[in-house]
Amino acid sequence: LGVACVRLYQDCLFWKKPDHEETEWHADLWTAPLATNDAVTVWLPLNRVDVDEGPLHFQTRSHRDLMSAHHGEELESYNPTGLLPPGQSGTHHAPLEEGDATWHHGWTVHGAPALQPHSRAA
């Protein structure tokens, strides 16, 4: 990161049950009260995540240009024009094993497809 120290801002637990709706496209820094662009997020799945079990999908390089098609003129007016929903577009890193991790920049646009009724809890 090129910094002298690292600060933990928050930790969260998101629990999605089978048949849960999609997690829409978003960037974590949209809601964080931080005066920096130097932020990363880690996702640690608590069990195995296969391709069809709702892994996070990322819009590649979306953190580099905040005025790109992934963003509106104001960050609060996010406009995913032309983006298909998570799972139908974006890249993922599944399968992931319990304890694996993905890291992404705080401005990276990401989301997750809906979980199917037969899916594991996420």
Supply 31's token pair.
């809601």
105 strand-pairing partners: 40
- Average pLDDT of the segment spanning 68-80: 49
How many CA atoms does the CB half-sphere of 93 hold within 13 Å?
Answer: 16
- The pLDDT assigned to 32 comes to 84
**Whole-prediction pTM value?**
0.81
The token pair at 27 is 């960037």
Dig out the tokens for 36 from the structure.
């920096």
Task: State pLDDT tens for residues 28-71.
Answer: 888 888 877 888 999 999 889 999 889 999 998 888 765 444 44
Residue 96 φ then ψ, to 5°:
-120, 140
Distances (CA, A) of 73 to 79, 100, 102: 9, 35, 29
pLDDT for 72: 47
Q: How many residues does the chain have?
A: 122
2-38 pLDDT tens trace: 788 888 888 888 888 888 899 999 888 888 888 778 8
d(CA 49, CA 27): 21
Q: What's the rounded mean pLDDT across residues 69-98? A: 74
> In this model, does residue 82 exceed pLDDT 50?
yes
Q: Which pLDDT value is given to residue 14?
A: 84
